Amino acid sequence: MRLEFISRVKEGDTLAKSIFSGDGKVLLRAGVSLTYSYIEKLRQLDVLYVYVEDERLGDLDLEDAKLNELKLNTVKNMSNIIKKLISNDRVDLRESLTKVEELMNYVIEFGDVNKSLNDIKTHDNYTFVHSIDTGIMATFLGINMNMSREELVNLGIAATLHDIGKVKIDKDVINKPSALSDMEYLEMKKHPVYGAEILKLNSNLSLKIIDAVLQHHERVDGKGYPFGLKGNEITQNAKIISVCDVYDAVSNDRCYRSKFNPKDAYELILAGSGSFFDKEVVMTFRNTFAVYPLGCCLRLSNGVEGYVIKQNKGFPDRPVVRVLYDSATRRPIPFHEINLLEEINIGVEYTI
């Protein structure tokens, strides 16, 4: 399969990854042939890219059926939790979060970082998919920081719940397409406190989980919020969630700004080491996640275009690229591969 911007998707292309709504219902199922009306509907949902089938990349397997099932169940469960909280109904969060625990346990046991992220986000499922992807990213970081299983599950739960306090923020503020006023920004900065209050009221979750939600916008240099904590005053879980939250957020379009390109999003995290983010967490981030997801199309500095088919561990911006067509005419050619770790004079110009 290959990852294509919606502007490059053609009628007749076969969808390779299902797209679902904010309440976990399937909008378009993998395997459907994309028509003009389907493509237009995806544009209306602010979908910027989709995965489509391509036999030339048939060896690129990004599907994990069990993981997809667990994600959908988690989305449905989170949607129900949010609806109850908005209605001011009391929620037994401990019982409701069993689906989150199942997902995190699967990631710990069987997770593949290349298959677990990069879900397709629409304007109505963004909140849930962002929360779940943040939880999965945080779990992968925790694994590489040698955390115990219990610590990993707690980290994953906290990361998945990190923005739950936003249910107390006016929707017009959350979805405002322009810059927030000073008063609106001050209100938005209260969501970690609101989140901690919700968790204390509706669950018997551990203090480590609640503190991580409360502190996920703190910065190691003391310039974060809500308390201006710094360094070791911030819990390790909060430091991990902070990196994952920012990276996933800037990697996706929002109503008030366009997404960063993959290289800029990645370098934003690296540049924040020691100021925004904890140095150890950033180093683990660099050794865990790649810049360019499998299946995405890159324009290389030699003018050639190709699709990422493999990552080089320890070199997040130097993948192996498969060239399928002539870049000038876009006519198919016998494909060949370029390993950017070996071709040191060739770099990535941009994603296509």
DSSP states of 192-235: HHHHHHHHHHH----HHHHHHHHHTT--TTS--SSS---GGGS-
Non-local (6+) Cβ contacts of 344 within 8 A are none
Quick one: average pLDDT of 6-30?
87
User: Can you give the pLDDT at residue 258?
Assistant: 60
Q: CB atoms < 10 A from the CB of 32, how many?
A: 14
Q: State the chain's mean pLDDT as an integer.
A: 89
Burial of residue 345, with CB atoms counted within 10 A of its CB: 0-12 exposed, 13-18 middle, 19 or more buried: exposed
Quick one: average pLDDT of 111-119?
79
Q: Give the pLDDT confidence of 227-258 residue by residue, as tens digits.
A: 999 999 999 999 999 999 999 888 875 544 46
pLDDT at 260 over 80: no
Element housing 333 (H / E): strand 332-339
Distances (CA, A) of 335 to 305, 323, 324: 11, 5, 5
The two tokens of residue 21 are 């709504």
Quick one: average pLDDT of 196-214?
91
Answer whether 41's CB lies under 8 Å from 89's CB: no
User: Can you give the pLDDT at residue 86?
Assistant: 77
Answer whether 308's CB lies under 8 Å from 293's CB: yes
Answer whether 114's CB lies under 8 Å from 139's CB: no
pLDDT band at 329 (very low <50, low <70, confident <90, very high): confident
Q: How far apart are CA 114 and CA 132, in angstroms?
A: 15
Highest mean pLDDT pick, 45-49, 216-220, 259-263, 313-317: 216-220
pLDDT band at 226 (very low <50, low <70, confident <90, very high): very high
Q: Give the pLDDT confidence of 155-181 residue by residue, as tens digits.
A: 999 999 999 999 899 888 888 878 889
pLDDT band at 124 (very low <50, low <70, confident <90, very high): confident
For the entire predicted model, the pTM comes to 0.89
User: Can you give the pLDDT at residue 256?
Assistant: 47
pLDDT at 62 over 90: no
Phi and psi angles of residue 124, each rounded to the nearest 5 degrees, phi first: -95, -15
User: Can you give the pLDDT at residue 138?
Assistant: 97
Q: How far apart are CA 87 and CA 169, in angstroms?
A: 13
- Cis-peptide, bond into residue 226, ω within 30° of zero: yes
| Distance of alpha carbon 215 from the chain centroid | 20
Non-local (6+) Cβ contacts of 241 within 8 A are 134, 138, 155, 158, 159, 162, 212, 216
Closest CA to 2 of 325, 286, 349: 325
State what percent of residues in the chain have pLDDT above 90. Answer: 55
Q: Tell me which of 96 and 182 has the higher pLDDT.
A: 182
Q: Tell me which of 98 and 127 has the higher pLDDT.
A: 98
User: Can you give the pLDDT at residue 257?
Assistant: 47
Q: In the chain, which ranges are continuous DSSP H helix?
A: 36-44, 65-86, 93-96, 98-110, 113-116, 126-144, 149-160, 171-174, 182-188, 191-202, 207-215, 236-250, 262-271, 279-288
Q: How far apart are CA 125 and CA 136, in angstroms?
A: 16
Answer whether 277's CB lies under 8 Å from 243's CB: yes
pLDDT at 209 over 50: yes
User: Can you give the pLDDT at residue 254?
Assistant: 56
User: Can you give the pLDDT at residue 189?
Assistant: 94
